[in-house]
Chains A and B, each alone.
Chain A
Amino acid sequence: MGRPVLFRGAWRSRALPWLVPVLVVIVWQVSAQAGWLSSRVLPAPWAVARAGWGLAVSGELWEHLRISALRALWGLLLGGGLGLALGLLNGASRLAETLLDTTLQMIRNIPVLALIPLVILWFGIEEAAKLSLLALGVFFPMYLNTFHGIRSVDPALIEMGRSYGLSGWRLYRDVILPGALPSILVGLRFALGLVWVILIVTETISAQSGIGYMTMNAREFLQTDVVLLGILLYALLGKLADLCARGLERRLLRWNPAYRPA
């Protein structure tokens, strides 16, 4: 007959990718309930779900979620915006590139997380510290990709644009920016990935609110289910951000056959 039912048609594309995760969760629940896994090491999925429900009902969950998401958003806007602006500037102007690029490359090589003690000294442990770290981490992927995108726009298209009367802002808007857009969106996806990593670390080290704080607090009280919940929340938020970026790509890069949904 051929392949078994499970591997055919709609099953294959929709249901099959979930087969392994579901199996893992089932095995996990069974092992927890049978006592092979101590609840202190790894709580049962049911316990995690119950903890999540409890926090959601009491309103704490939404508060922490909101604060973490806001931090990530601000960091992205600040660092990403700055990276985009400088990338556009250095890409378009040779003078700006000569003046600024070397300095930026030197700063890039400093690992962001190694700056934490310095940042705490300068900004304390309040929001400014977190924001500066987030912005710094997010800045470089955006800057590099924007710069590269602008520089690698097809010169033949720029020449065509010039010979058809486009110049200055209109050339930029119609030829250079859209040409650089695929690179810029790659930079955005990198930035989105990084923002969560840095957020986790900064929230764990010094925070009064946010998912990291919730997780740290739970650790103090040995609430491993809440700790796990925090991790899952980070993963979920990261996935959501990636989905947004993908959606943006699909909308803005519709013209490119490589980005069409299959």
Chain B
Amino acid sequence: MFVNLSEFEFLQFLEPRRADPAAEPPAAAPAQPAVRVALRGLHKHYGERHVLKGLDLDIAPGEFVAVVGRSGCGKSTLLRLLAGLEAPSAQPGGADEAVRFDAAAQAGADERVRIMFQDARLLPWKRVLDNVAIGMPPRVRVQAAAVLRQVGLGERGGEWPAALSGGQKQRVALARALLHRPGLLLLDEPLGALDALTRLDMQQLIEDLWQRDGFTAVLVTHDVHEAVALADRILVIEEGRVVLDQRVALARPRNRGSAPFAALEARVLDAVLKRRREPPGADRPLAPVIPIGHLRLAV
């Protein structure tokens, strides 16, 4: 707790013998199989405010789903319900459990599910490596170091979180989530607070790790460009319901500048902003037109 045994040389004999850190880590905990998610009639209300109204959704194992929508549309609530941080409200019609993982009802916090929050939420009183290994038994420290190396912070393991930048803290949070080899990774606008360049790096990192491990991923984001770049499927949620379920059939690695990419992005953006796309060449004035007769002069 307050005294980290590994910091006192003469107390080393008290710690279980650790493998040579430079050697390859022993076979890591087997990755949990990707989780299949099924939502049936998911309701959530806070008092009088109904946030989710009867959501039905199926997510195949290993799929990367992005959820976009305006603020307050319920996308973060959806993620928190999936993570088990909140419980669904009772459904009208008395349907049974609304959230099912692999056809079994969800029961509170699940071992297969990990969530990455918008802020890194690192424990400031634990060193970076201990933060990555949180919730795991001490023998996993070697694997924690390996995961930390994968996110590019291998040599920062012994530092306090206060010494890291925002982007680095989020990378540590990603390492922490991935150490558990989850079957379902939930990402709640994790890149929102980062600068544009760090965001691009992190998007690439998330995609690489997802392709390597094959977990199911649900990413909540307000950035449509990011959604099209990363996801297999984009859901637009508005007022607690799904209004668009768009499959993204572009090959990976995604070419962000290509025409199909831009077209998809525009399509999703229109759905979010509820724009009806004007036919090209439509003749409309740039500003409201006021007939001269409606003007009065005040002198």
Contacts and interface: CB of A to CB of B under 8 A. Distances in A.
Contacts of A157: 121, 123
Contact of B176 (A164, A175, A255, A257): A164
Given A156-B121, A174-B126, A164 B1 contact: no
A156 B123 contact: no
Interface string B76-87: 000000011100
B19 interface: no
A181 B114 CA distance: 28
B121 A160 contact: yes
Contact of A255 (B1, B109, B121, B125): B125
A178 interface: yes
A164 B162 contact: no
Given A163-B84, A164-B176, A256-B124, A156 B162 contact: no
Interface in A225-262: 252, 254-257
Contacts of A257: 162
B160 A254 contact: yes
A153 to B, nearest CB: 11
A160 B114 CA distance: 10
A173 interface: yes
Contacts of B114: 163-164
B111 interface: yes
Contacts of B109: 162-163, 165
A200 interface: no
A109 to B, nearest CB: 34
Interface string A8-20: 0000000000000
Given A156-B121, A164-B134, A256-B125, 16 more contacts: A157-B123, A159-B121, A163-B83, A163-B84, A163-B109, A164-B135, A165-B109, A165-B111, A173-B1, A174-B123, A178-B2, A179-B125, A252-B2, A255-B125, A256-B124, A256-B162
A177 interface: yes
A161 interface: yes
Given A157-B123, A175-B123, A177-B1, A166 B135 contact: yes
A71 B83 CA distance: 53
Interface in B1-33: 1-2
B69 to A, nearest CB: 22
Contact of A178 (B123, B135, B162): B123
Contacts, number: 58
Given A156-B119, A174-B1, A161 B124 contact: no
20 contacts: A156-B117, A156-B121, A157-B121, A159-B121, A160-B121, A161-B135, A162-B109, A164-B114, A165-B109, A165-B111, A165-B180, A166-B134, A166-B135, A173-B1, A174-B123, A178-B126, A254-B160, A255-B162, A256-B125, A257-B162
B217 interface: no
Interface in A128-171: 156-157, 159-166
Interface of B: 1-2, 83-85, 109, 111, 114-115, 117, 119, 121, 123-126, 134-135, 160-162, 176, 180
Secondary structure of the B contact surface, majority rule: loop
A153 B27 CA distance: 37
A178 B134 CA distance: 14
| Chain A, interface residues (CB within 8 Å), range | 20 to 34
A185 B225 CA distance: 48
Interface in A71-126: none
Contacts of B117: 156, 160
B134 A174 contact: yes
Interface string A162-202: 11111000000111011101000000000000000000000
A112 to B, nearest CB: 31
A31 B161 CA distance: 57
Nearest to A258: B162
B128 to A, nearest CB: 11
Nearest to B108: A162
Which of A166, A255, A256 lies at the interface centre, i.e. has the most chain B CB atoms within 10 A of its CB? A255
Contacts of B160: 254-255
A156 B118 CA distance: 11
B121 A178 contact: no
A178 B130 CA distance: 14
B176 A178 contact: no
A161 B111 CA distance: 13
**9 nearest A-B pairs in the assembled complex, by CB-CB distance:** A165-B135, A164-B135, A160-B121, A178-B125, A255-B125, A255-B160, A257-B162, A173-B1, A255-B124
